[in-house]
Structure formats: C-alpha cells, structure tokens
Amino acid sequence: MPPAFLLAADSDTLIRLSPVDLAIIVIYFVAVLGIGFYLKAHTKTGDDFFMAGREMTAWVAGLSFLAANLGSLELMGWAAAAYQYGILATHWYWIGAIPAMLFLGVVMMPFYYISKTHSVPGYLKLRFDERSRALSAITFGVMTVLMSGINMYSMALVMKVVLGWDIHFSIWVSSLTVAAYVFLGGLLSAIFNEVLQFVLIWLGAMLVPIIGLIETGGWAGMVERISRNFPGHNYTSLWSTLGSVGDNPMGIHWTGIVLGLGWVISFGYWTTDFLVVQRVMTAKDLRSAKMAPIIGAVFKMLVPFIVIVPGLLALAVLPMTLTGEAEALATGGHSYNEVLPLMLARYLGPGLLGLGVTALIAGFMSGMAGNVSAFATVWTYDIYRALWRKDASDAHYVSMGRWCTVLGVLVSIGTAYLVMQFESIMDYVQALFSFFIAPLFGTVILGMLWKRCSPSGGFWGLLAGTVSSIAMWAWVKADPSALRYIAFSPEAKDMAENMYRALWSWLICVGVTVAVTYATKPKPIAELAGLVYGVTPLPDEGHLRLYERPMFWAIVVSVVLAAFNIYFW
C-alpha cells in the first residue's frame, strides 16, 4: 500500500502549510525584494550593475559562485537523477565538478581577471576576434534562456506538488518576482541574495537527509533497504559497476564518466560558463579570484548530502512509485522530478516544512537570478554593444541591462514549457551542455594555453563542435540505432549519450581548431599579453605563507576528494 502522504496527493494539495510556514515564506520574499530596493541606490555604473563593482571578498565571491549553480535545478534535478540512477549521480558533484573548479581557480582565473573582461565571450574577442565573440555570445544567450526555463519549471513543480497551485500560475508569479530584484540591483543584488539563499538552502534542505537516515537506520540501513527493494541492481556503488554498461542503472562505461563528464562537460561548465565565472570575476583582487572557486569546491563536495541522499532515501522508502515525466502526466502519478518535494512532505512538519519549501524557493531564486544576470551582461556587452551601439553612454548600457533582464525572463517563461517534454530535468540540462559548453571549452582552453592558435582556428573549431553536437543529437532522435556509434552501446541511457556526445563534440572542436590554425596566420605575440600562458607574467605568491596560497588549498581539497571516492567505491 502506498504511504499515506502519497494517497493525500489525490486531493487538491499534497500538504497544507501552517500559518508559521506561510510566515517564513513571506518573510523570505520581503527580504529578497528589500535587498534589491536597498542596493538599487548603490548600482549606478555599468561596473556596479554587471560586475558588482569588482569588490567582493573571496568568501562572498566563492559562496555566490556555488549558489548560482545550487539552484532548484540542483536540488530537484539531481534528487530525481539519484532516484533514477542511484549514487552514480554523485559523479556530477565530485569528478564532474571539483577538479574543474580547482583548475579554474589555479590555472584560468589569472587570465580572466588580468584581462578585466566582462564575460567569457569578451575574452574570446580579445584572444581571437569578433567572430568568436559573436558566436559564443549568441549560443550562450540561447542556452541561458533555455536553462532558466528549468528553474521556472522546478519552482512550479514545488508549488504544484506541495501547495496544489496551478503550474502555469506558479511559473509566472515566481519568475516575475526574480525579475524585479535583478532589475533593481543587477549582479550586486543577485550576489548578496545568493549568499542569503545559500544559507537558507542548507538550513532547509539538510532536514530531509538527517530525518530520513534516522528512519532507515543510517547509511548502512538505507543501503540494505535499497538492495532489498531492487534485487540484482546496484544503486549504491560509485565506481565498481562502471566496468560494463550493463552493470549499472545509467548504462554507461567509466570512460564516459571520466572523459565525457569529468573532462569535457565539467571543465567546460565550470571554466567557461559565464553564469558561474561571472561571480568569480567580481573578486576584489587576483588572490581572492583564485580562492573563490576553491572555497566553492569545499562546499560543493558536501552538497550530495542534501541533494543525492534524498533521492537514495526515496529508493529505500518509495520503491517503484515514481516514473518518467510523460508516464506521470498520462497516469496522474508522480515523476522522478518530484522526489524532493515528496520527501519534504514525508518528513517535515509545521515550521520545518516552511523552512524546507523556502529552501526550494531560494534555490529557484538563486538559479534564475544567475541566468538572468549573466544573460543581461552578455546581451548588453557582447551582442548589443558589439553589433549595434558601440559608442553609447554607460548609463545607456545600464538601462539596456535592466530592460533585457525583463525580456530574458519573459523569453525564459516560454522555455519552461519545453522542460516538460523530458523525463528527467538533468537529461535536458546535460543535452544543452553537450551542445554549447563542450565545444566552447575546447576553444577557450586551446586559446589560453597555445600561443599559435589562430583567430580563424578558434571560430571554425567552435562552430564545428557546436553544429556536430546538435547533429549527433538529431541523428539519434531520427535513428535510435545510431546510439551504438555515439555512446558505444545500444543500451546506453540518455545521460550516457549526453556524456559521449559532449566528448565527440569537444574532439571535433579541437581537431578542426588545430587543422585550421596550421592553415592560417596566428595573432602577433604582442597582442596576446594578459591572455595566454607563456606571454603573460603572473604575480609571484612566494611572499605568502603556505596556508595563504591558493595552490595549497587546491591540493588539500584534491586529497579529500580522492578519499571520498575510495570510500564510496
């Protein structure tokens, strides 16, 4: 017999919030809007609106860097992925995030920061030419509005499952609230709200795993229940089942995890996606800019506790009650994407429930604001100013940034409905990353580390990688048997296909870039100062004490990461 709280879903609402719960949610909304109104007076110049004045400390920049990523996509999407694929979803936090975050801090931030660019497309303009900047800016803009639809959809799901609100009404009300405070204070408002949201997310989301593990008898008890519920399937081993595609729920080989995720998608996202890189660029000095991703990596390593564990707990206490999105819509049941709201309903009572729902709302606000502020910057500086109005006043660009914030939200509302067509939110996200992020990483890393890389090589490599990734996706949609060529197995699931498609698109981008580079003229060395290794003098950190050096903390985090992977092998 299904649990009582699932039976309650037949009524208009899964649960009812007490006055205390509603008060907590209302206070949160008032607080974020209040921050927006307060910071509007401090947001006068383009640097204030788009780059928060470049005055953030390492801790503020680091927490904002992580909070921009730790949105409802993370909270709900990866809880859903953990229910669907088991502990393998943790790879997206550890091997699929930590090494890239450390690489960004130690290797790449000096060039982003020293060049004083406003965006990653802006860096490509300096390193290559206007063609590369325009292509990356347009593809980033498309990806951003598509991604922001995920946050809207996730928030609407919370309101539907928990409160019984109409999903369309939820999308409009919640998204317009975010538009208001980003419109007022720009990136400065987004960053300060993201730090607040980071704290609320942890306070609210950690309640489910703590109470759930108490119910199941700790980690060992949860693993035993999952094994009993799914005999013959291993949902709780991180690496031991990856030797064969048929041995794990994702249908993926370890090469897909290490190369497709750990190298291409991970490094592509954390080092070139302007949504997160923008936060680090606001640091007050180079050392703070290098430390910010390392601080973010420490907390990122702990996030699976509040995201992956709830999905695993659902496997232990809700076996075989959730389905893919299409089947859920057809039957009136619950989908993978609703795991976290259902677990909130199971474990949290009055007061605690309000905190938990506020955590999800905070996650939505954080992710949505990150997308909107990044879109506003890239649109204003890398599309509007570069292609239409090159010599307008600073005040004009601030005004444009504010109004394209509203436009970005309205376009994103339309994309929210696209997400409903995917069984899992994360399958949708990883598909977008394989289209746009994987080839972009190939272009940026070659440009940053290889002096010979030419402007034409950068442009044609990026274009070839992007087009080939979309073409491979269309090929598999038209002919499912093509999966054996893209993912090396006809049994591969959507997530495995995304990993291998990302790897192929990166290889194509790199191959075309190298080939075109040797057939065209490179930029003069004098124009590469501050942009490329071997041409840019980097500040010496020899005067800093050992524990003050970013490299020292990067090594510490790497050792702890290795220990975690061995323990959960």
**For residues 433 and 269, is the Cβ–Cβ distance under 8 A?**
yes
Task: For residue 515, count CB atoms less than 10 angstroms from its CB and return exposed for 0-12, middle for 13-18, buried for 19 or more.
Answer: middle
Query: Could you tell me the two tokens for 101?
Result: 């975050």
Dig out the tokens for 433 from the structure.
Answer: 């990353």
How many CB atoms neighbour CB 335 within 10 A? 24
Say what the alpha-carbon torsion angle 479, 484, 485, 486 is, to the nearest 10 degrees: 80
Q: What share of the chain has pLDDT > 90, as a percent?
A: 11
- Distance set, CA 542 to CA 103, 292, 389, 547 (Å): 20, 20, 45, 12
Q: Any alpha helices (H) in 8-119, and if so which ranges? A: 19-40, 46-51, 58-67, 72, 78-85, 98-103, 109-114
Q: Where are the beta strands (DSSP E) in 258-404?
A: 322-323, 334-335
- pLDDT score, position 326: 45
Which residues is 208 bridged to in the sheet? none
**If you search the block for the tokens 């598909």, which residue do you land on?**
431
Q: Judge whether residue 322 has pLDDT over 60.
A: no
Whether the Cβ atoms of residue 495 and residue 252 lie closer than 8 Å to each other: yes
Position with higher pLDDT, 27 vs 182? 27
Determine the pLDDT at residue 515.
Answer: 96
Model pLDDT, residue 7 = 32
Closest CA to 144 of 424, 382, 392: 382
DSSP 231-261: TT---S-SSTTTTSGGGSTT---HHIIIIII
CA distance 420 to 88: 24
Residues 455-476, mean pLDDT to the nearest whole number: 92
Residue 323, phi then psi, degrees to nearest 5: -135, 180
Radius of gyration of the chain (CA): 23
Q: Per-residue pLDDT for 519 more than 90?
A: yes
In this structure, are residues 435 and 111 in contact, taking their beta carbons and an 8 Å threshold?
Answer: no
* Stronger pLDDT, 206 or 560, i.e. the higher one: 560
Half-sphere exposure of 448 (CA within 13 A, CB side): 22
CA dihedral 405, 406, 407, 410 (to 10 degrees): 120
SS3 annotation, 377-424: HHHHHHHHHHHCCCCCCHHHHHHHHHHHHHHHHHHHHHHHHHHCCCCC
Domain boundaries, the chain: 15-537+547-567
pTM above 0.85, yes or no: no
CA 408 to chain centre: 18
- Residue-wise pLDDT tens digits, 138-149: 888 778 777 777
Q: Is the pLDDT of residue 330 over 50?
A: no
pLDDT tens digit sequence for 337-364: 677 777 877 877 777 777 777 777 776 7
What token pair was written down for 170?
A: 């939820």
* Pair 396, 107: CB distance under 8 Å: no
Q: What does the longest C-alpha to C-alpha distance in the chain come to?
A: 73
Architecture of domain 15-537+547-567: Up-down Bundle (1.20)
Residue for token digits 């409802």? 72
Q: Between 6 and 199, whose confidence is greater?
A: 199
Q: How many helices (H) and strands (E) does the chain have?
A: 28, 2
Coil/strand/helix, residue 366:
helix
User: What band does 5 get if pLDDT is binned at 50, 70 and 90?
Assistant: very low
**What per-residue confidence (pLDDT) applies to 329?**
44
Q: Record the tokens describing residue 41, joined without a space.
A: 């007076």
Are residues 407 and 384 in contact, defined by beta-carbon separation less than 8 angstroms? no
Dihedral sign, Cα of residue 164, residue 169, residue 173, residue 179: positive
Is-contact 137 382, C-beta < 8 A?
Answer: yes
**Chain centroid to CA 404:** 22
H-helix segments, 206-240:
207-216, 218-229
Banded model confidence at residue 491, pLDDT cuts 50, 70, 90: confident
In whole angstroms, what is the distance from residue 366 CA to residue 64 CA? 9
- Bridge partners (DSSP) of residue 283 are 56
Cα pseudo-dihedral 144, 147, 151, 153, rounded to 10: 130
Q: Pick the most confident of 42-46, 79-83, 317-321, 522-526.
A: 522-526
